[in-house]
Amino acid sequence: MLTVDAVVFGYTKEKGISVLLVKRKYPPFQGKWALPGGFVDEGESLEDAVARELKEETGIEVGYMEQLYTFGKPDRDPRKHIVAVAYFALVRPETVTLVADTDAEEAAWFPVEGLQDLAFDHDAILQMAIERVRNKLTYEPIGFELLEEKFPFSDLEHLYTSLIALETGENLPKFMERRNFKKKFMSLGILEELDDYLHYPGSGRPARLYRFNEKAYYAYKKRKGMGFEL
């Protein structure tokens, strides 16, 4: 008995990092919120299974996905021994519309901060996913998968700040100091400085927009060893 579960992260300036959950329609854990997921079909690859379940239960397709860990404790499911291969994924919440479907009553975004009491061992899975994304953020440019194509630098900064602050107990590493962070990031040469500006009405100076330059990143990877090591 093999299942796949997905920890899908989204980000908005207002609500910070959120995770996509579905409300369980049937026992066990009926009525509880859980990670989307389900059984792997015979002859179906794990990645296909995750994509399919996500589509079925929430209606979304993700941009970036990666295997997280496999959870196999015999008692993680009260019915019987069911092994779950967990994935984490990143999407731009703007670009997706949630639909509830057959197996799940509802699908919705929840800010991850202090989230708990999920079905099965999904609390632990979520925790691990957060940890993983947070680490990964500092050595691979996956943050852009959560931002719009063009974004003000402050979005990037805010994304990093809030994700790294989660569970780090609020004391940010030194490289997150505003001026240093920008200097460092810019020096990588993987951000394109656009001639577009964005102004949220109601406040502050308009912000210049940036875009992630994938080609430049490959060049960087070739030049340096790998990753980008913030």
Partner DNA sequence: ACAAAAGTGTTGTAGATACACCCATGT
Partner DNA sequence: ACATGGGTGTATCTACAACACTTTTGT
Residues carrying an active site annotation? 106
Phi, psi of 208, deg, nearest 5: -65, 145
Report the nearest approach of DNA to the CB of residue 194 (Å). 10
How far apart (Å, rounded) are the C-alpha atoms in residues 162 and 111? Answer: 11
Query: Taking CB under 8 A as the criterion, which residues in 169-198 touch a second copy?
Result: 173
Distances from the Cα of 61 to the Cαs of 26, 65, 98, 118, 162, in angstroms?
24, 10, 10, 23, 25
Residue closer to a second copy, measured from CB, 80 or 179: 80
Residue closer to DNA, measured from CB, 153 or 212: 153
| Per-residue mark of binding to a second copy, 84-123 (x: CB under 8 A) | -x--------------------------------------
Q: What residue 95 binds from DNA, a second copy, none (CB within 5 to 8 A, per partner kind)? A: none
Residue closer to DNA, measured from CB, 100 or 176: 176
How far apart (Å, rounded) are the C-alpha atoms in residues 33 and 21? Answer: 6
Spatial CA neighbour of 120 closest among 3, 9, 28? 28
Report the nearest approach of DNA to the CB of residue 207 (Å). 4
Residues that bind DNA (CB under 7 A): 152-154, 173-175, 177-180, 182-184, 187, 197, 199, 201-208, 229
Q: What is the DSSP string of 60-81?
A: ---SEEEEEEEE--TTSSSSS-
Contact (Cβ atoms closer than 8 angstroms) between residue 124 and residue 213: no
Q: What residue 74 binds from DNA, a second copy, none (CB within 5 to 8 A, per partner kind)? A: a second copy
Give the relative orientation of helices 178-187 and 153-165 as an angle to the nearest 10 degrees: 110
| Count of residues of this chain found to bind a second copy when the rule CB under 8 A is applied | 20
Q: Which stretch binds a second copy (CB under 8 A): 6-14, 38-46, 140-148, 206-214?
A: 38-46
End-to-end CA distance of the chain: 41
How far apart (Å, rounded) are the C-alpha atoms in residues 106 and 138? Answer: 34
**Contact between 146 and a second copy (CB under 8 A)?**
no
Binding site residues, a second copy, CB under 8 A? 2, 40, 42-47, 67, 69-70, 72-74, 80-81, 83, 85, 173, 225
